[in-house]
Amino acid sequence: MMEEGLADGQNIFECDDVSLELFPHGQRRLIIDRLSLTIRAGEFLTIVGSSGTGKTTLLRLLGGLVQATSGSIRFRGATVNSAPEGVVVVFQDYSNALLQWRSVARNVALGIEGKLDNAEIAKRVNEALQMVELERNADDYPWQLSGGMQQRVQLARALALKPDVMLMDEPFGALDAMTKATLQDEVLQVHARTGTSFVFITHDIEEAVYLGDRVVVLSGPPGRIHKIVPISLPRPRDQIKTRQTPGFLHLRVEIHAAVLNAEGH
Amino acid sequence: MRPSFLNIPGTLTLLAVAAAWEASVQSGAVTFEYLPAPSGIIIALVDLVSSGELAANTAHTMRSVLIGWILSIAIGSGLGLLFGLSAFARRYFLASLEVLRPLPAIAFLPVALLLFSFSLTTELIIIVYASVWPMFVNTMGGITNVSSRLHDVSLTLQLSRRRALTKVLIPAAAPAIMVGCRLCMGTALVMAIIAEMIGNPHGLGYAVVSALQAMRPERMFAYVIFVGVLAISLNACLILASRQLLSGHTREVSHHA
Amino acid sequence: MPKRRKSFGFLLSGLPALRGLLPLVLFLATWQAIDPQGSPYFPPPSTWWVSIVTLTKSGRLLPALNATLMTFVLAIAIACVLGGAAGILIGRSPIARRALGPLLEFCRGLPPPVVVPVAVLLLGYVESLKLVIVVLVVVWPILLNTASSTSALSELLLDVSRTLRLSRIATLRKIVLPAAVPAFLVGVRGAVPLAIIITLLVEMITSLPGIGSLIVISQRQFRSSEVYGLLIVAGLIGFFLNSLFIVIEGLLLSRWPPRASYAEGG
């Protein structure tokens, strides 16, 4: 399928005709059906679609947590067999994705312990905590923090790895609107400052438009790409101003229609 | 563990262990002087069954267990209900009970023997003293843990105290109470066997010890394995029974491994 | 924001409030008052104290106490190591769980007292008999609790270890082991009273040195006030060890989120 809105640039992910079959209870279920997608370095890609369209599965495929049954996924040209270095997943269930018995700082350090020397680890933990504004909570424990703060800890843990790509699975789905808005802007700031690529799954169409450079609309089951919509809104984006521009409203309508359309299939 | 009907690895392991056991005893490779071979154990078991001795001993033990169990359930649930409902009782009496609880019931056996010598009463004292605790703790816990939301429901519906108790509180505490009954049965069996080993010369406990003293390892092992199977079966029966009785409840409250 | 539970007050709060002891104290006082002379079957509490003091002075109580406590401590320590290690290994391997399942279930359901004659038969009256029996009985709650929690380790945490590219050893050390600690401690909590009971039981049956054999000797010699006194000693041992465990558990779990801890099977 031809992709729209892809300018020339280095490709960080290349998915060619990827399919995933599962066999629960001996029956064959096709989860993803011959999906092809290219992700550009430095872009912010958001993915929307109703339940059952395989969004999470696609993310797990990109993250190397599950293997495709056919087709290929390449990260920086190399086939993805296991979790590729430079790619990290941020999960929706933040409280269970953190280690409840470790302090915030030690949680953030989890991915880099043993791989760097202590001075570097401390430095990265500090930087990551600063990026998510949790410096003062370094010695607290996850269960002492609110939902939004716990999700930020997970974010910081991913940032400490200085990844090339962050894969985020509906990370703000369980949070209230105010916290969500704050975290959206924090993520955008990280994107602007570090140039990390983002693949961001969400239910929330407005969030998809607000955050993304491109929005991928999936249909299914089985999961297929229904439409890709380029977002030409200028950056940096603003919660109040951007969301009121005619461009934003138009894109919102377009994507909403696409999602409904996809459900009809 | 997902219980598929035929646990092939499990069955194979059991058979392999039995075969290795048999082989090592027959070949004299194992150093334990009195370890009997599984074949000998099976022969002894068949003998015990056909002579009726197994049945007689089981009947004796089960009689004590059942009487003790029923008594413990009655006392334990009564106390549990009282302490569960009454904050006054908890504040002024609970600590006394908490101090009695860790007292190993087995330490009462010599006292009971002093007072009542070898008899059913002695057995029952030990059984009830030990078994009352799981029943009590689980009943009290079940009632105090009933979600406060259900209390609000009773108030909103303006249920009388009696109705609130019988229609809301007790059914809500029922899973925990059933667990208490099950643990109580397990404890009752353990204590009955202990009492029979040391105190009352009848029943399965005594049979095991007397087989030991008579140096008849096949009989002893046969009894031991039978006791294990008996305990597991009783537990399984109670689990089935509680599932039937509690068919409305979707979650089983777990208070113990 | 909930505080970390390090305060001394919390450590003690697992123990029962003392005012509830009043009924017990009243009961004992009444017993004492009613019958200061004492019948042979129901000697008043004052005589219990006297016989305990006598036992101590004659040098018989302390060695017995020592024997019982040593067995308990060693048995719990060994059972923790064996049960914890085996629990993690079995929990991590679904095949092992299925293959060993029936054997483990049998060992769990087997009433502990019957293990005693089996061990006596196979090992004879050796020094270590007591220890072996208690370990054999007490290892199961620890092993089974640890195994069940390890096997239920959330798939999510395993995904986390994969996406952070932790090595197998790192995953074991940093995620699997710490995650198993609360369930491990629940198992130990069940093992503690069991260990006390079985230690006393073995002492009573085999007359190997300890409080249990002292009680049996006193009972055979119809020294009732001694029997009651030793009963209290056994109770105090039980109470003390249980409380000690609660304190230790509180310390170990100070980093974990507080849970509604009504879960005790008695």
A128 lies in a domain?
yes
Nearest CA to CA, how far is A121 from chain C (Å)?
A: 15
Q: What is the pLDDT of residues C176-193, one digit of tens each?
A: 999 999 889 989 988 998
Quick one: pLDDT band at residue B2, thresholds 50, 70, 90?
Answer: very low
Q: Do C4 and A145 touch (CB under 8 A)?
A: no
**From the CA atom positions of chain B, what is the Rg in Å?**
22
**Which residues of A are less than 8 Å from C165 in CB distance?**
83, 85, 111
Q: Do C113 and B205 touch (CB under 8 A)?
A: yes
Q: Do A96 and C257 touch (CB under 8 A)?
A: no
Work out the average pLDDT over B149-161.
Answer: 80
Quick one: pLDDT band at residue C262, thresholds 50, 70, 90?
Answer: very low
- Asked if pLDDT for residue C36 goes beyond 80, the answer is no
pLDDT of residue C38: 61
Q: Do A89 and C257 touch (CB under 8 A)?
A: no
State ipTM: 0.88
A132 lies in a domain?
yes
A141 lies in a domain?
yes
Q: What is the pLDDT of residues B69-85, one digit of tens each?
A: 999 999 999 998 888 88
Quick one: pLDDT band at residue B254, thresholds 50, 70, 90?
Answer: very low
Quick one: pLDDT band at residue A107, thresholds 50, 70, 90?
Answer: very high
- Asked if pLDDT for residue C32 goes beyond 90, the answer is no
| CATH number of the domain located at residue range(s) C46-253 in this protein | 1.10.3720.10
Rounded to the nearest integer, the mean pLDDT of chain A is 90
- Residue A241, judged by CB atoms within 10 A of its CB (0-12, 13-18, 19+), counts as exposed
Task: Please tell me if residue A78 touches chain C, with a CB cutoff of 8 Å.
Answer: no
**Which residues of C are less than 8 Å from A159 in CB distance?**
none
A134 lies in a domain?
yes
Cα–Cα dist A54/A32, whole Å: 6
A151 lies in a domain?
yes
Cα–Cα dist C89/C86, whole Å: 5
Mutate to test the interface with C, among A56, A67, A94, A100 (most CBs of C within 10 A): A100
Nearest CA to CA, how far is C201 from chain B (Å)?
A: 7
pLDDT of residue A74: 93
> Which of these ranges, A130-134, A151-155, B48-52, C223-227, has the smallest mean pLDDT?
C223-227
Give the other-Cβ count within 10 Å of A216's Cβ: 24
Task: Please tell me if residue A75 touches chain C, with a CB cutoff of 8 Å.
Answer: no
Q: What is the pLDDT of residues C97-156, one digit of tens each?
A: 888 888 888 888 899 889 888 888 888 877 788 899 999 999 999 999 999 888 888 789
Quick one: pLDDT band at residue B31, thresholds 50, 70, 90?
Answer: low
Count how many domains chain A has.
1
- Asked if pLDDT for residue C194 goes beyond 50, the answer is yes
A43 lies in a domain?
no
DSSP state of C137: H
Q: What is the pLDDT of residues A16-56, one digit of tens each?
A: 999 998 888 778 888 899 999 999 999 999 999 988 888 99
Q: Do B99 and C16 touch (CB under 8 A)?
A: yes
The residue assigned the tokens 């089935």 is B240
Cα–Cα dist A82/A74, whole Å: 11
The full set of domains in chain B, from first to last, is 39-245 (1.10.3720.10)
Q: Which residues are CB-neighbours of C41 under 8 A, at least 6 positions away? A: B114, B115, C224
**Which residues of A are less than 8 Å from C163 in CB distance?**
63-65, 83, 87-89
Work out the average pLDDT over B157-173.
Answer: 80
| DSSP H helices in chain C | 8-13, 22-34, 45-57, 61-92, 94-109, 115-123, 129-151, 155-163, 168-171, 177-206, 211-220, 224-252
**Which residues of C are less than 8 Å from B110 in CB distance?**
204, 215-216, 218-219, 227, 231
Bridge partners, A21 (sequence order)? A30
A248 or B91: which carries more pLDDT confidence? A248
In chain C, pLDDT over 70 holds for what percent of residues?
A: 88
- Asked if pLDDT for residue A140 goes beyond 50, the answer is yes
A242 lies in a domain?
no
The two structure tokens encoding residue A167: 């894969």
Cα–Cα dist C158/C151, whole Å: 11
Beta strands in chain A (DSSP E): 11-22, 29-40, 44-48, 70-75, 78-79, 87-90, 165-169, 197-201, 214-219, 224-230
B169 or A165: which carries more pLDDT confidence? A165
Work out the average pLDDT over A105-120.
Answer: 92
pLDDT of residue C13: 54
pTM of the predicted structure, to 2 decimals? 0.80
Cα–Cα dist B180/B166, whole Å: 19
Work out the average pLDDT over A111-139.
Answer: 92
Cα–Cα dist C22/C28, whole Å: 10
Contact B173, B84 (CB under 8 A): yes
Supply the range of the domain harboring residue A136.
98-162
Q: What is the pLDDT of residues A157-195, one digit of tens each?
A: 999 999 999 999 999 988 889 999 999 999 999 999 989
B115 or A98: which carries more pLDDT confidence? A98
Nearest CA to CA, how far is A100 from chain C (Å)?
A: 6
A15 lies in a domain?
no
The answer, yes or no, to whether C and A have at least 3 beta-carbon pairs within 8 Å is yes
Instruction: Tell me the range of A202-216, B145-159, C150-164 where mean pLDDT is highest.
Output: A202-216
Contact A40, A10 (CB under 8 A): yes
- Asked if pLDDT for residue C215 goes beyond 60, the answer is yes
A215 or C5: which carries more pLDDT confidence? A215
Task: Please tell me if residue A61 touches chain C, with a CB cutoff of 8 Å.
Answer: no
B3 or B257: which carries more pLDDT confidence? B3
**Which subunits sit against C, judged by 3+ Cβ pairs under 8 A?**
A, B
Q: What is the pLDDT of residues B205-230, one digit of tens each?
A: 999 989 988 888 889 999 999 999 99
pLDDT of residue C27: 82
C contact residues 156-185, partner A, Cβ 8 Å cutoff: 156-157, 159-160, 162-166, 170, 174-175, 178, 181
Nearest CA to CA, how far is B89 from chain C (Å)?
A: 9
Work out the average pLDDT over A127-143.
Answer: 92
